[in-house]
């Protein structure tokens, strides 16, 4: 069965339409914040659409000529469990390989178990830990190397 969504590179505004629906993110992301982080670096904003409505996204940017950082990603609560996050991850990895990056880095937290499971399932290795005072707020650093 074909997925009922399409994924394509998109604008930060569409990404924010999804971001505003994510209860876990509590409105912390703004257009100016995203623009500042992506300014003057190669970046990729992928958005998944269902009937032209943005429902999920993945945003990342270049750290250096070999390393791409997968910064933010989310699926609207009403669309979770449909494989959209996995499809976004696959699309991002394909773009990263095509653009000759050797490594993807990503951070997550224990409070996002679905993300942790997806990263491990897709061959991301834990390479660091940033203690922020509690297991729920501390960050786990993952890396995936492409040959």
Task: Write down the residue that tokens 């942790």 correspond to.
Answer: 116
Q: 10 lies in a domain?
A: yes
pLDDT 10s per residue in the chain (147 long)?
567 999 999 999 999 999 999 988 877 789 999 999 999 999 999 999 999 999 999 999 999 999 999 999 999 999 999 999 999 999 999 999 999 999 999 999 998 999 999 999 999 999 999 999 999 889 999 999 998
Q: How far apart are CA 119 and CA 125, in angstroms?
A: 8
Q: 1 lies in a domain?
A: no
Q: 32 lies in a domain?
A: yes
pTM attached to this predicted model? 0.93
Q: 45 lies in a domain?
A: yes
- In angstroms, how far is CA 85 from the centroid of its own chain? 8
Backbone angles phi, psi at 44, to 5 degrees: -135, 120
Q: How far apart are CA 5 and CA 84, in angstroms?
A: 8
Structural domain containing residue 91? 6-145
Give the CATH number, domain containing residue 37: 3.40.630.30
Q: How far apart are CA 123 and CA 106, in angstroms?
A: 12
């Amino acid at each position: 069965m074909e997925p009922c969504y399409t994924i394509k590179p998109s604008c930060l505004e569409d990404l924010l339409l999804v971001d505003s629906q994510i209860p876990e993110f509590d409105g912390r992301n703004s257009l100016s914040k995203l623009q500042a982080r992506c300014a003057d670096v190669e970046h990729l904003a992928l958005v998944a659409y269902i009937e032209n409505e943005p429902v999920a996204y993945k945003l990342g940017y270049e750290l250096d000529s070999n390393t791409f950082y997968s910064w933010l990603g989310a699926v609207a609560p009403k669309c979770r469990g449909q494989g959209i996050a996995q499809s976004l991850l696959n699309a991002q990895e394909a773009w990263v390989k095509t653009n000759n990056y050797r490594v993807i880095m990503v951070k997550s937290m224990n409070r996002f178990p679905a993300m942790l499971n997806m990263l491990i399932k897709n061959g991301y290795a834990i390479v660091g830990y940033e203690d922020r005072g509690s297991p729920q707020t501390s960050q786990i650093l993952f890396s995936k190397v492409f040959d």
